[in-house]
Amino acid sequence: MRNRIIPLIRKETLHIIRDPRSLYLALGLPIVLLILFGYAITFDVKNIPTAVVDQDNSVLSRDLISRIASSNYFDLLYLLNTHSGTDRLLDEGRVKIILSIPSFFSRDISRKQDTPVQVLVDGSDNNTAQIAISYVSGILQLFSSNIIMEKLNKDGPMPIEGIPPINVEPRLWYNPDLKSTNFIIPGLIAVVMMVIAAMMTSLTIAREWEIGTMEQLIATPARPHEIIIGKLTPYYFLGLLQTSFVILIGTFLFKVPLRGNILFLFCVSSLFLACGLGIGLFISTVTKSQQLAFMMSVIFTLLPSFLLSGFIFPVSSMPQIVRFFTYLVPAKYFLVVLRGIFLKGIGLNILWPEVVSLFLFASLIILACAKRMKLNLE
């Protein structure tokens, strides 16, 4: 009995090479998606357009304003001395935040009284709003504690030097600058690899059904497992090539540090690719139409990888029932591995539960396909 798998692999490879669309789908699209999303999705809030209404116009109020203006977080676009017309600035979206200093600001402070500073925030973008509020309160708190210290130093009952102050010195591990690309790029790599792997496999099989070559193929002595291996092998290697592309882009273009072992990264990527190819294969046992295969691979891979993997929303804050479904999303495990290898530089000794989960998922889905895949026309 001669080997039938090799002619199948050779034929599939020729399809890939001759069809620029499949090469674009496999190698071009991930790059485009990664660059597009890598620049578009950022949770960093910087340069918030800001207006300040200074009704006091004193040394103190100007000091406060200069602190706000000199931080990276705010872009001081309007400096006004009355409230008239400020509503329009928010309405028209020209500013996201308005800080209003009352006319009695420096008087109250010199009398050692509380003084209110109003902060108007555009809450229609709640994420930016929350971050802006916390930045403003941080600046205001620092400002007021400086004033208190000054007063205490000047006329305090005891010399301030004697009290040991408590300083919080936060040290951020793994991502010291809190760059959100460091967090997003590994997630995007997982999403892109999963979607493309599942889409490519389900489309290539559906295409053979649609043009009728599958009918010819199943009338030959080729066995189902031979057809599956012949179909998947070229796409597996294409997937590995694609993985190297996205890793290169992540590390060189987006400067995500790669602290762990590259070989280990490729081994786990292989497992993850096997999950994606398996899902694609499973879809192709359900439908023989390219259009439906395309839609199903979007629904069963893109959305879960985005929403249920912990990429954007942390799994720990999901309701119990939703959290249950996240265990069925391979991207969830791969994401932990990617962030672990890229940012933390950890290896198999810590990441083994994820690796085992990916292995189980891949074997189960491919076994399920082998059972379901009946090579006949029904």
Partner 1 sequence: MNSIEVENLTKRFGRFTAVDGTSFSVKKGEIFGFLGPNGAGKSTTIRMLCGILRPTSGTAVVGGYRIDAQPEKIKKIIGYVSQKFTLYQDLTVEENIDFYGGIHGLSPSIKNERKKWVMKMAGLKGRENSLTKKLSGGWKQRLSLGCAILHQPDILFLDEPTASVDPVSRRDFWDLIYNLSEEGTTVFVTSHYMDEVERCHRIAIIFSGKIIALGSPRALKSEFTKKVDSTLEDVFISAIERERKNEK
- Note the residues at the interface with partner 1 (CB under 8 A): 1-2, 4, 6-8, 10-11, 14-15, 18-19, 211-213, 215-223, 375-378
Closest CA to 52 of 6, 105, 120: 120
Q: Which is nearer to partner 1, 298 or 377 (CB)?
A: 377
Q: Which is nearer to partner 1, 8 or 25 (CB)?
A: 8
Sign of CA dihedral 328, 329, 332, 333: positive
Shortest gap between Cβ of 273 and partner 1 (angstroms)? 25
Q: Which is nearer to partner 1, 10 or 83 (CB)?
A: 10
Q: Which is nearer to partner 1, 128 or 287 (CB)?
A: 287
Give the type of residue at 371: K
Shortest gap between Cβ of 218 and partner 1 (angstroms)? 5
Task: Find tokens 């020729």 and name the residue.
Answer: 14
Specify which residues 80 forms β-bridges with. Answer: 53
Q: Which is nearer to partner 1, 18 or 371 (CB)?
A: 18
Q: Which two tokens stand for residue 73?
A: 């977080």
Q: Which is nearer to partner 1, 7 or 123 (CB)?
A: 7
Shortest gap between Cβ of 367 and partner 1 (angstroms)? 21
How many CB atoms are closer than 10 A to CB 302? 17
Shortest gap between Cβ of 294 and partner 1 (angstroms)? 20
Shortest gap between Cβ of 353 and partner 1 (angstroms)? 42
In angstroms, the Cα distances linking 19 to 25, 26, 86, 219, 243 are 10, 11, 58, 25, 20
Shortest gap between Cβ of 16 and partner 1 (angstroms)? 10
Shortest gap between Cβ of 26 and partner 1 (angstroms)? 16
Q: Which is nearer to partner 1, 130 or 213 (CB)?
A: 213
Q: Which is nearer to partner 1, 12 or 56 (CB)?
A: 12
Query: Do residues 189 and 250 lie in contact, with contact meaning Cβ atoms separated by under 8 Å?
Result: yes
Give CA–CA dist 181/282, Å, rounded.
33
Q: Which is nearer to partner 1, 148 or 219 (CB)?
A: 219
Shortest gap between Cβ of 309 and partner 1 (angstroms)? 36
Instruction: Work out the end-to-end distance of the chain between its first and last CA atoms, rounded to an integer number of angstroms.
Output: 28
227-244 burial, b for 16+ CB within 10 Å, e for fewer?
A: bbebbbbbbbebbeebbe
Helices (H), 116-179: 126-155
Give CA–CA dist 205/207, Å, rounded.
5
Shortest gap between Cβ of 369 and partner 1 (angstroms)? 19
Give CA–CA dist 111/105, Å, rounded.
10
Sign of CA dihedral 59, 61, 62, 66: positive
Q: In what order do the strands lie in the sheet with 97-101?
A: 74-80, 48-54, 97-101, 118-121
